[in-house]
Structure 1
Amino acid sequence: MSSGAGQGKDAPRPYFFLSYAHTPRINSRGAADPNLWVAKLYQDLCEAILQITDVPSGHPVGFMDRSMHQGQKWAERLSRELATCRVFVPLYSPRYFKSEACGKEWHLFSRRSVYQRRPTAERMTGIVPALWVAMDHYQLPRVAGELQFSHDSFGPDYAAEGLYALMKIDEFSSQYQAAVLKLARRIVEVAEQTVIPIGQVLDFESQPSAFDQPDSGDQVRISVFSYQQRELPPNRNAVWYGEQRTDWQPYRPDSSRPLSQDAADIARSMGFQPTVGEFEDETEHLLGGERPAGPSVLLVDRWAFLDGRRSEAVRRLDRRNLDSVAVIEPWNRDDQQSRDHERMLNELGDSVLAVSRGARQRPSLRDEGAGGAPGSIEEFRGEMERAVMRACTAHEQHHRGRPESGPGERRPSIGP
């Protein structure tokens, strides 16, 4: 796609793109959306910019993604906004610099040329960072560390605490309002003192992250035991499946992307380097030798237990009872077909996962947050974080000389 030329300040281009890391819910049922605080900041920035500029009615002021990174249309929308916005505003937090999606957003914006309207001592980049939380104890990636930007100019409380604390603590209310106004003025200043031509609308998913890659030693293997559409058992609804077994999407319509991608994003947000594969491609790693060479998370589709030949490898893995392999059985309580066949699927699971299920609650569509069997995409994200930590901790303990559970031993519960 071709790139466009620069436009005047009255053109309908958003002043800023707010780039932030989505915070998962503590639990899925009845919990407030933690990203509503970011949405409030976004609205306050838009209001402040409207007050200090002459943006015409109906023209975009900013852009904030609320879609949780789902689907091709979402990726195309992000790419368009990143190709046209005038200022990029990354919201710094430890989670932000672990997010691959945020790194791609930074990369796409930074590809665009920046021309200053008049020479100044400060080299403007079109990037205006904001502190969501204090980052004093965290090492910034190279691209962020190279920015010539002082957070102290927005006030000492802002620099020490970040916007989230200023919003949450009543005594900081005036400091929050002052910081938002100064941030809005900075966004407008950079937008008006630079010319950033419209960039190319590129494929978002194929872009690299601008952030430094994690240490190769922090690896987590994610394997998927499920179906391809063409190998489904009779009458199983194909809406949950794709061309590859790793395309399994058990939480449609709430999440229309493969669950393995969600799992990989969660592992990255925790600072790990994930790999994704079909369970059958991982059997040598999981079943060969004395124990796996690294931590693993196995995502199990209980419908796939209907294939007795393939299930035998999962049964063998379960009998090994290795703590460095965490098992999650995603279980969508809105999947009516699974509800109708729950007894049959539970019996299949009991026959294959006898060891691991003996140490935790049996998964059920009627259970609220049953350990290892998340019933919604929000519950899955929390369970995935716990599974990664269990597997990695067990793997590290083994390397420090503490053995894993052996055959016949009951491992600790994999529930919360």
Structure 2
Amino acid sequence: MTGRCYFYLSYGHSVRLRADDRPGGDHWAGKLFTELSVEVARLVGADRRAPVGFCDNLLPPMTDWRTALPAALGRADVFVALCSPDYLTKGWPLRERASFAGRYADPGTAERFQVPVFWVPWPRGEHPGERAAALRLGAGIPEYADEGLQALTRLAMHRRPYRAVLRRLAYRIVTLAAEAPRPAPPAVAFDRVTAEPGVPTGILFTVAVLAPQRSDVPPGRSPRAYGPAPRAWTPHRTGLPVARFVADVAERLGQPARVVDRPGDLALLADGAALVLIDPWSAATPDGLERLSGLATRIPAWATVLLVADRTDPQYAARGARLHHTVADTLVAAGIARQRIALLRDADRLVERAPSLIDRACAAYRRTAWCW
């Protein structure tokens, strides 16, 4: 993004389990961002086609969010938080807020440049300070206090109060941006901020990686996709390790996540929900299938297994596709139900399916593990 960034829009991410599901909160947050950007551009006399704000849906798939988002937060004049039960109980959006607030030594100054929005209502007794601050934006507009701005965004019957709140929000952004320090102070890196969710989820999400590292790639395999440890495996030429991407998606959805990449760490999968990422090329050594078969017996019954490949890999057609299916058959023979095994062959499908795979893995843990 070039040009001035007047605002950063932060919201709690949600999951659509199927492509034909009704639009969820992410869709409506994106709609608000688009219309708010137009209104801000009108107020400052900017080209309406030029970006004046930032929302993470502007980023390309498989972006390194932990790098890109603090960079955007460091450029934004105003932080707009779409407050909801999801927002206030998820570590990721709270980390965004803490990263922005960390730009200022004085907490009062940091708070001044934050605009909370009453996005989805929550009970009066919970987070009363957040609730009061978010309701101030829509003072005198009863539909805002009763329904929240997301409902006003969605429903045509609320178009008039929606436009009134939208104009207020845009005016508030522009007014604060005029007072914001220039140049903007840098935001704090995500790994250096602490932002605990209001209500812990109680489920730890573990991403396990079974893949070679660069020093022990199978004979004839290009080392391009591998790094100093299995967790550095990058099958889709995006520069972002696949395990890191999946763990970050889980955290955005509200699950505390970790990555493990040693066979001995498979015992840690028993601690919560789990997704096991397997590189089919792990089987391309003389004893590869035998080792995978043995490791399969240590994967808990509720864990989902994801075989990841890249159909554009020059070695995929020659050998990778065959390994993909051979490994799946080996895992089934070792006792893993075929319906627990997903095969993905391109980055776009991984981006599309990761949220639902994570959600289903958490549901399987609740359903299966908690019965033990």
TM-score range, shorter chain: 0.7 to 0.9
- Name structure 2 gaps, 5 residues minimum: none
| One-letter identity of the residue aligned with 2:359 | E
Distance 1:226 1:94, change over 3 A: farther
Shift, 1:84, TM fit:
3.7
Distance 1:90 1:80, change over 3 A: same
Shift, 1:265, TM fit:
2.6
Aligned-pair Cα RMSD in Å: 4.2
> Which residue of structure 1 aligns with residue 162 of structure 2?
176
Q: 1:258 aligns with which of 219, 227, 241?
A: 241
Distance 1:16 1:123, change over 3 A: closer
Cα separation, 1, equivalents of 2:124 and 2:310: 39
Shift, 1:270, TM fit:
4.4
More moved, 203-212 vs 298-307: 203-212
Identity of aligned residues (%): 24
> Which residue of structure 2 aligns with residue 187 of structure 1?
173
| One-letter identity of the residue aligned with 1:249 | T
Shift, 1:386, TM fit:
0.8
- 1:45-64 superposed matches below 5 A: 45-53=36-44, 61-64=52-55
Q: Is the 8 A contact 1:114 1:196 kept in 2?
A: no
Cα separation, 2, equivalents of 1:280 and 1:75: 27
Deviations 1:92-113 (A, max 9, x none): 2444445544333211211233
Q: Is the 8 A contact 1:101 1:209 kept in 2?
A: no
TM-score, normalization by structure 2: 0.78
Shift, 1:40, TM fit:
3.0
Shift, 1:13, TM fit:
4.0
| One-letter identity of the residue aligned with 1:15 | Y
User: Are 1:345 and 2:327 an aligned pair?
Assistant: no
Q: 1:221 aligns with which of 206, 209, 213?
A: 206
> Which residue of structure 2 aligns with residue 164 of structure 1?
150
> Which residue of structure 2 aligns with residue 105 of structure 1?
96
Q: Is the 8 A contact 1:20 1:90 kept in 2?
A: yes
Cα separation, 2, equivalents of 1:57 and 1:376: 33
> Which residue of structure 1 aligns with residue 351 of structure 2?
377
Distance 1:296 1:77, change over 3 A: closer
Distance 1:244 1:351, change over 3 A: same
Q: 2:59 aligns with which of 67, 79, 85?
A: 67
Distance 1:26 1:268, change over 3 A: same
User: Are 1:133 and 2:133 an aligned pair?
Assistant: no
Cα separation, 1, equivalents of 2:47 and 2:164: 25
Deviations 1:317-357 (A, max 9, x none): 53467424332223445546334432343123312442445
> Which residue of structure 2 aligns with residue 325 of structure 1?
303
Cα separation, 2, equivalents of 1:330 and 1:199: 41
User: Are 1:395 and 2:369 an aligned pair?
Assistant: yes
- 1:293-372 superposed matches below 5 A: 293-307=271-285, 309=287, 312=290, 314-319=292-297, 322-335=300-313, 337-341=315-319, 342-360=321-339
Distance 1:27 1:170, change over 3 A: same
Matched residue SS, 1:48? helix
Matched residue SS, 1:15? strand
User: Are 1:272 and 2:255 an aligned pair?
Assistant: yes
| One-letter identity of the residue aligned with 2:186 | V
Matched residue SS, 2:339? coil
> Which residue of structure 2 aligns with residue 17 of structure 1?
8
Cα separation, 2, equivalents of 1:396 and 1:356: 21
| One-letter identity of the residue aligned with 1:397 | C
Distance 1:101 1:365, change over 3 A: closer
Deviations 1:137-167 (A, max 9, x none): 8955x99469575354272222333333223
Q: Is the 8 A contact 2:6 2:78 kept in 1?
A: yes
> Which residue of structure 2 aligns with residue 206 of structure 1?
191
Q: Is the 8 A contact 2:16 2:24 kept in 1?
A: yes
Q: 2:231 aligns with which of 229, 232, 246?
A: 246
Matched residue SS, 1:227? coil
Shift, 1:304, TM fit:
0.9
Shift, 1:295, TM fit:
4.1
Q: Is the 8 A contact 2:276 2:306 kept in 1?
A: yes
Distance 1:39 1:143, change over 3 A: same
- Name structure 1 gaps, 5 residues minimum: 1-11, 116-121, 287-291, 399-416
Shift, 1:88, TM fit:
0.8
Cα separation, 1, equivalents of 2:7 and 2:362: 35
Equivalences, count: 366
Please identify the structure whose Cα radius of gyration is greater. 1
| One-letter identity of the residue aligned with 2:146 | A
Q: 1:44 aligns with which of 35, 48, 63?
A: 35
| One-letter identity of the residue aligned with 1:92 | C
Q: Is the 8 A contact 1:114 1:197 kept in 2?
A: no
